[in-house]
Amino acid sequence: MRRITSVVATLALGATAVFAQNVPVIKERQDHFKKMGDAAKPVGAMFKGEADFDLTKVQAALKVMQEKAPILPTLFPDDTKTGGDTEALPVIWQEKADFEARFKKLGEAAKAAEASITDEETFPDTWKEVMGNCSGCHKKFRKPKS
Ligand code: HEC
């Protein structure tokens, strides 16, 4: 009887390990992404010609990206593959090096853009390039919007 109890206990422990979901970390990374998205939104409107060019907002968005780029790759531990309402795809954990390199590239692109975007003329091409880092990663590593 004691033996059976311990087998059951072991199975229960195993199940917990397999299905552990670190939802707080998933929420944390989504929050960082959301802040980048919120900062980029008004600049996207300028890019589309729907809002007047405002260098301060552009620089602020690029700063947020530089701030988030080194934090984000630390928020994808193994126990956050599923859970909450994550849109992260399993390929992240299969191709971690590529995934992490893309955050580094985003941070570098945002830094370079902060120096090179100085006015309305220098804005569109460089902004598009920076944002290509977002869409490129989402295409491969984030669930497509249904
Ligand atoms: C290296 C990959 C990568 C890069 C670069 C990246 N993202 Fe994401 N993004 C993700 C993944 C993965 C998720 C899904 C996270 C989750 O749901 O757990 C996501 C989610 C988001 C979300 C949704 C957050 C929420 O509320 O659930 C927004 C908004 C977002 N990203 C904006 C951006 C913007 C803006 C950029 C560029 C400035 C960017 N991302 C760059 C991988 C990336």
117 CA distance to ligand 1 centroid (A)? Answer: 23
Among protein residues, the one whose CA lies closest to atom 39 of ligand 1: 134
> Is residue 15 pLDDT above 80, yes or no?
no
Specify whether the CB–CB gap between 91 and 140 falls below 8 A. Answer: yes
Q: Is the CB of 127 under 6 A from ligand 1?
A: no
Q: For residues 109-113, give the mean pLDDT.
A: 98
Q: Is 26 in the pocket of ligand 1 (CB under 6 A)?
A: yes
Structure tokens at 44: 């996207």
Q: In this predicted model, which residue has the larger pLDDT, 9 or 115?
A: 115
Higher-confidence position of 8 and 38: 38
Confidence class for position 21, pLDDT limits 50, 70, 90: confident
99 lines ligand 1 (CB under 6 A): yes
How far apart CA 127 and CA 112 sit, in angstroms, is 11
**Nearest 10 degrees: Cα torsion 98, 80, 143, 113:** -50
Q: Which two tokens stand for residue 31?
A: 């929050």
How much of the chain exceeds pLDDT 70, in percent?
A: 86
Instruction: Give the HSE-up count for residue 114: Cα atoms under 13 Å, Cβ half-sphere.
Output: 15
pLDDT tens across 75-98, in order?
A: 999 999 999 999 999 999 999 999
Amino acid letter for position 10:
T
How confident is the prediction for the chain on average, in pLDDT? 91
The C-alpha atoms of residue 23 and residue 29 are separated, in whole angstroms, by 10
Q: Ligand 1 pocket check: which of 28, 31, 33 to mutate, most ligand atoms within 8 Å of Cβ?
A: 33
Does ligand 1 come within 6 angstroms of the Cβ of 40?
A: yes
